[in-house]
Amino acid sequence: MSIKSLLIIGFVWPEPNSSAAGSRMMQLISFFKNNNYTITFASAAQDSSFMVNLESFGVEKKSIELNNASFDDFVIALNPDVVLFDRFMIEEQFGWRVAENCPKAIRLLDTEDLHCLRTSRQKAFKENRDFQLSDLLREEVAKREIASILRCDLSFIISEYEVKLLKEVFKVDTIILHYLPFMLNEISEIDLEVLPSFESRNHFLFIGNFLHEPNWNTVQYLKEAIWPLIRKELPDASLKIYGGYASQKVLQLHNAKEGFLILGRAAEANEVVRDAKVVLAPIRFGAGLKGKLVEAMQNGTPSVTTCIGAESMNGDLLWNGFIEDNALDIALKAIELYQNKELWIQSQKNGITIINERYDSVVLESRLKVVIENLVQNLDVHRQQNFLGNLLQFHTLRSTKYMSKWIEAKNK
């Protein structure tokens, strides 16, 4: 394979212990490292205390500026073979500069999840009504996001449901879409044997980054509607809530008497998930795959979630616990799972099966390698087939370019 140079332009610096997006990015970095790419990770974001040390993974770190021609000089000098945009907002900012300065570079987009789906569901929830597919077509974010997908040579889509929406609702050609869920290591029988037993675990858990609105909403839902029902039946049980970037309004929900414990950022997410008996994740809006539910399965911890929480995660396999959408049903299933050892063990096994059959990194990386090699060999033909992408590249490259140049001139 002749390609050797990859530029990743990040929305933020990766924080794998803070979010599923951070873990996802590290999986992609690992894939490209394993395929002998030199990797530069560039971002306009501020450094954070919890960002991963990219240099320790053999990745060069580069700070860049928005709306600044210095990026042009940087990307021309780097001359990457492949550029990976982390979320559509980054492609909007830098896609035209990459296309103009490195026209032969393959442009990849990692959507993380469909932002327009998450935004539309959140609006419907706030308006106290059911989400409709037609909401997507009215959503401004959808117009921007789909345009970004069309402009790129290939977009990584994390969920099968989102692939279906892109094909059926937005009529996006499948040649520019690649289904790529989390790429995870297989869980062996030996891994299973070292996990804490049913008897040694004695609390419920929720974990999630509080910068993510669906997580904050879930904690409110647990506090108001679900935890009182569970606590009534299990008066000695506690619910431990972990998550980075907890604001004062989150911290104020802490109540030791009720066993509702807000514990801030977990030093090691896998450890706290492994110690819990049941993960509670009654997510009411959102999109993509849920990292917290993957972590639960990896650590042998059954979970109770909603249809949106479990969306596209298990295919036709049995869930790692229960999927319910009503507060009472969620509470009843959580109590049952907490008390019934046989059910708990079977749910744990279901989770292991889901990880091993649907997220096998060996299988997924092998497919991805073939797709990228085909792109390398047939890029011109591939781009000719993506006429709408060429059309958008032609027009939006100019509109985005001149908006950026206007901001650049204004900043001077």
Q: What is the rounded average pLDDT of the residues 241-265?
A: 94
pLDDT of residue 408: 73
**Structure-model confidence comparison of residues 6 and 18, the more confident one:** 6
Q: 22: part of which helix (H) or strand (E)?
A: helix 20-34
Q: 305: part of which helix (H) or strand (E)?
A: strand 303-305
Residue pointed to by tokens 């040649």: 175
DSSP state of 225: I
Query: What does the block give as tokens for 379?
Result: 């890029």
pLDDT of residue 46: 95
Query: What does the block give as tokens for 200?
Result: 């040694």
Confidence grade of residue 99 (pLDDT, cut at 50, 70, 90):
very high
Q: 262: part of which helix (H) or strand (E)?
A: strand 260-262
Q: In angstroms, how far is CA 57 from the centroid of its own chain?
A: 21
CATH architecture designation of domain 189-358: 3-Layer(aba) Sandwich (3.40)
Please check the confidence at residue 1 and state whether its pLDDT lies above 60. Answer: no
Count Cβ atoms below 10 Å from residue 281 Cβ, excluding itself.
25
Q: Name the residue type at position 334.
A: A
**Structure-model confidence comparison of residues 3 and 173, the more confident one:** 173
- Grouping H, G, I as helix, E, B as strand and the rest as coil, residue 383 is helix
Confidence grade of residue 279 (pLDDT, cut at 50, 70, 90):
very high
**Domain 5-184+361-411, classified CATH 3.40.50.11540, yes or no:** no
In whole angstroms, give the CA distance from residue 253 to residue 177.
42
Please check the confidence at residue 70 and state whether its pLDDT lies above 90. Answer: yes
In whole angstroms, give the CA distance from residue 325 to residue 281.
11
How would you classify the pairing of strands 278-281 and 303-305? parallel
pLDDT of residue 264: 92
Query: Minimal CA–CA distance to 368: which of 160, 154, 162?
Result: 154
pTM: 0.92
Q: What is the rounded average pLDDT of the residues 288-293?
A: 96
Q: Name the residue type at position 258.
A: E
Count Cβ atoms below 10 Å from residue 200 Cβ, excluding itself.
9
| pLDDT tens, residue by residue, 49-64 | 889 999 999 999 999 9
Is the torsion defined by CA of 311, 317, 322, 326 positive or negative? Answer: positive
In whole angstroms, give the CA distance from residue 351 to residue 295.
10
Please check the confidence at residue 399 and state whether its pLDDT lies above 70. Answer: no
Break the chain down into helix, strand, coil percent, rounded to 5: 50, 15, 35
pLDDT of residue 39: 98
Q: Tell me whether domains 5-184+361-411 and 189-358 share a fold.
A: yes
- Residue ranges in 243-315 assigned as alpha helix (H): 248-251, 269-275, 291-298, 307-310
C-beta separation of 39 from 6 below 8 A:
yes
In whole angstroms, give the CA distance from residue 210 to residue 70.
34
What mean pLDDT is reported for the chain?
94
In whole angstroms, give the CA distance from residue 405 to residue 385.
31
In whole angstroms, give the CA distance from residue 117 to residue 400.
24
pLDDT of residue 395: 60
How would you classify the pairing of strands 303-305 and 154-157? unpaired
Query: What does the block give as tokens for 18?
Result: 């803070």
Q: How many H-runs (helices) and E-runs (strands) does the chain carry?
A: 19, 13
Domain ranges for the chain, please list them. Answer: 5-184+361-411, 189-358
